[in-house]
Chain A
């Protein structure tokens, strides 16, 4: 067992665990998109970023790939990380606003606007389907082609693959096509229809963490209170 310091708390972790796994074990919620327990970590969506180290040596790493090391200091919800996550959600939302998964994350993290033009792409290139196909289904029917902004997921040479068994695992795991948002197309890419509540607890906290997930009534009552106040203000 090794000891990792997460958000100011010394926590025991198994050797070989990633930071994300350690956090999951203790119920510290870190948002992810391209991570799945059954697949190898990929580190592409960057949502699971955390801050490690201190002072000048502090840096941002993906918790899904970074191993829990003895004495490592981790901050999962620092101001910087929170700001970055919101910006990543904003980028993803502009790319594929129809994904309910992303819309829900946006609501949860308090992303209320998208400053970029909306692309309406169906895929956020998280690569879950590619890894699913390769690692769990042993088919390798799909993969990435091209690079940069032209990158996409397809079968070799864009033709129907001989090795594909149409098992549907790729669609099962996809955060964009399976959980497609069917609500009205929101203006400005942010929907927030289903989960339009504020981020649980405080926006930012360096060293403390509330372990309740999903957040308990305190939050809802807070929201209620706020609404009540707003109503009063309107009346006044």
Chain B
């Protein structure tokens, strides 16, 4: 090509041809590396064959493009011109796509992207939530061009910016444009690009170089790869313009060897440019000389640092050197050099084409334009997203990312790759730009965004990233090399339970040293994950160090088996599961009973926190731990297996416990076993507290409860029923008579709805209702019963109502969706099986009454809006959607509060505004000497197992108190009391291993009686399930030595 005009003529011709064929059918398949990993290459072949089979070669074209960003649903096929978006396409779908969609113009619904809320298929990309909030400038063209064809790029307007730059402007003007556009370096540091160019242009030198830094090394970040694979010419055009502006004669593209497809596409593109006369001595007859060389990096992370990159390009060891001098002064071969990231270069043609003003309108005050982020980790929609600067993290995570999988809670997001900081949930409103991220202790980096959920341990995370950076540090400077190593040393101590509080100070000092005094960007940013987690998740460090607890149950040497670690009473689940697997049921029961005085109760109603952290549940279903406990306790009851209570010799001290709920019973049992004289005061005629009156009989038969309580009586606990402290016996008298007191009265006071009509006849509270049924009092229900709430009380009330004769229909009104319901999932399912109607997204507005009696509820439909502090989407009323649910009885089940009025006069006792007691969080001691409190009366409404956990600690604390010791709970790392041989599973067993469904009585039988619904697992089922356990206890150092013992 000898002149710009000639080239432009040729371009016009190419563009004319493209617009002529714009309406002809085209099948676009995105096939970047990510797509190919999911089989897009095979889909492309299948599509090609299908087109050929139907003789459509001349009518339908197939365009193989780079990545479109939505990697979660790859392979993606788009049918043009109808713009139909198909996801998760397999080679088997090719025939149908060609015959149905291309030939018959019919949509294949199966392949559409289902709307995450309503499940209906979405036709085109623009309507998919993942895409709607994005603003695609750089990535958009990925779907429009075949990256191996320069004419495709020219066809969409490519190289017009170059022509404009060469013909209409001069280098100074270009630099001015880039400066005023506000473009900043996309490699992460955010240095103003125009200024950088200016420095290099002004630098004295006969030869100058420019470099495209494509050494993308952040794990999980792949936007540079996507650009080079999908649209290499956009980057190359940017480089040409930059070289012209800076006055460089030679360009380098430094690209990772691990990106073979990107290397291939770039090499093809460079060759095509040369053919068109866009590279060489006299480009387009303008006298401008420039050539590009592709240099492949060997994959050292540090080579992304510019001085290390220069060393690597020169063929030396890829190691940074201290700046200054900066590359603009002394770069490759000592000549002025300008290095920019792939994404920065790709922005340049857009700025030249559309002007600096257009560009600077996008983004925030100091960060302009769009930025590509890779959204990865615990997120529903994994992929590359391009968004305007200034978008909030919340929008990224919930609107674009679609939230956290499996309804788990968001914990943190790490931006900027391994050396970025972890930003916690309360900063989700942060507007993403260079300054804001820096302010909260993170970096923009390359744009990696790793989402972490509640199952991520932040201490472990900090350690993990530091280990990566330790591997990748060049080792030249002391602070980075030695500093990171020592940080890991300390973090390892902490994650293995050997940490001390002084370590935290050392970590911070050392982290700051590495940050401030290291030679290059790698060292200077390396402590970010550590320092940010120390800032935002300090408590988690404390938990590890002080309490030997890992809240996410990740750190192996602390947790041993997560089931045991998570259990508030420390039940050795992994041990009894292993015993069941070996058929040793008696011993399994003994292990359960050792830590749990209410084993049969927990086997039925426990909220099983153990299962939520079960490792088998990470990629499948957790082990049915509660069902296995049920099996062992049923076996023991049937075969009269008793647990020998080891009682210490009698002591003279007397302990009073107020309340016979799970907390009181547990504390009572352990204190009695220690030889104390324990009396439990209960205001009701029955024992068991909430277990007896609020948990309905169909979940927990009374004889089962009494069986467990009988065993506690055997240990020597005395009970005084029908005795209300504060009424029948004053608290003061109790205090004078007994040496220590444990208050475990629970939370019974129902909360009010706060809407009109609440005082009407027929409006009752769930707990009163459940209690009356349990105590066999007269309960009159109307025919139509409505229940407001979504917790366990609401669901229990619904299932009880459904069993009562008077009642015909039961409707639960809940303001969110099933996913957000706090009740146990199995209860919700059972509820629906028992013909209870649950109206989701429904909130009461006012209660309708007639003659003082309830006749119905006026409700309003809700929709899910923004995410609130609890990580759930906040329900927002839809205006004008009011409707009436006609009812005869309305049960309110929203929440409960403790009632501690009997303690009001007690000096030294502290209360929260919610009416709960304030205690020392470690020792459960109240402000009054010798008086302890725990369970719901302290925490507010919670499940039984946590009250039992408190009861167990209180028993120990009261013991220490009565022995005159300083109260100090013992904290140690979790370990099982015995290690059992692992079982070996055959391949068939592994293949068919799955969580068994609980056997239940029929629904007909359920709705007419209070017979226990769950039957329990059969022996065969139980053993099979127990054998499925992954035996996490063997993964500690201690556990591994056990395996070695077995194998030896």
Contact = CB atoms under 8 A, between A and B. Distances in A.
A219 interface: no
Contacts of B517: 46, 49, 60, 84, 88
Contact of B486 (A65, A116, A127): A116
B489 A88 contact: no
Nearest to A152: B475
A116 B502 CA distance: 12
The interface size bin for chain A is: 35 or more
B479 A66 contact: no
A87 B509 contact: yes
A146 B506 CA distance: 28
A65 B322 contact: yes
Given A66-B324, A116-B489, A44 B478 contact: yes
A129 interface: no
A141 to B, nearest CB: 16
A17 to B, nearest CB: 14
Contacts of A66: 324
B479 A91 contact: yes
A92 to B, nearest CB: 6
A115 interface: yes
A231 interface: no
The interface size bin for chain B is: 20 to 34
Interface string A43-67: 1111101000000000110100111
B516 interface: yes
Contact of A46 (B317, B319, B479, B509): B479
A174 to B, nearest CB: 16
Interface in B135-157: none
B472 A148 contact: yes
Interface in B285-326: 300, 302, 317, 319, 321-322, 324
B477 A151 contact: no
A60 B516 contact: yes
Interface in B313-348: 317, 319, 321-322, 324
B510 interface: yes
Interface in A127-172: 127, 144, 146-151
Nearest to B505: A115
B519 A148 contact: no
A156 B794 CA distance: 75
B513 interface: yes
B481 A148 contact: yes
A117 B488 CA distance: 12
Interface in A26-83: 41, 43-47, 49, 59-60, 62, 65-67, 80, 83
Contacts of A83: 509
B1038 interface: no
A84 B510 CA distance: 8
B485 A149 contact: yes
B471 interface: yes
A43 B477 contact: yes
A75 B17 CA distance: 67
Interface string A107-129: 00000000111000000110100
B274 interface: no
B506 A46 contact: no
A95 interface: yes
Contact of B475 (A41, A47, A115, A147): A147
Contacts, number: 90
A125 B519 contact: no
Interface string B465-479: 000001111111111
Given A87-B513, A94-B486, A125 B475 contact: yes
B633 to A, nearest CB: 48
Contact of A91 (B319, B471, B486): B486
Contacts of B519: 43-44, 46, 62
B470 A115 contact: no
A127 B481 CA distance: 14
A25 B508 CA distance: 36
Interface string B382-403: 0000000000000000000000
B475 A149 contact: yes
Interface in B249-300: 300
Contacts of B489: 116-117
Nearest to B516: A60
A151 B478 CA distance: 11
B482 interface: yes
A147 to B, nearest CB: 5
B158 interface: no
Contacts of B369: none
A79 to B, nearest CB: 13
B483 interface: yes
B322 A144 contact: no
Interface in B733-751: none
Contacts of B478: 44-47, 88, 91-92, 124-125
Contacts of B473: 147-149
A143 to B, nearest CB: 8
Interface in B506-523: 506, 509-510, 513, 516-519
A115 B506 contact: yes
Interface of B: 300, 302, 317, 319, 321-322, 324, 470-479, 481-483, 485-486, 489, 502, 506, 509-510, 513, 516-519
25 contacts: A43-B477, A44-B477, A45-B477, A45-B478, A62-B322, A66-B324, A80-B516, A84-B516, A84-B517, A88-B478, A91-B478, A92-B478, A92-B482, A94-B486, A95-B482, A125-B475, A144-B317, A144-B319, A144-B475, A147-B319, A148-B472, A148-B474, A148-B475, A149-B475, A151-B474
Closest 7 CB pairs of A and B: A151-B475, A43-B322, A91-B482, A65-B322, A148-B473, A60-B516, A148-B475
Interface of A: 41, 43-47, 49, 59-60, 62, 65-67, 80, 83-84, 87-88, 91-92, 94-95, 115-117, 124-125, 127, 144, 146-151
Given A80-B516, A147-B302, 7 more contacts: A43-B477, A45-B477, A59-B516, A65-B322, A88-B478, A91-B482, A124-B478
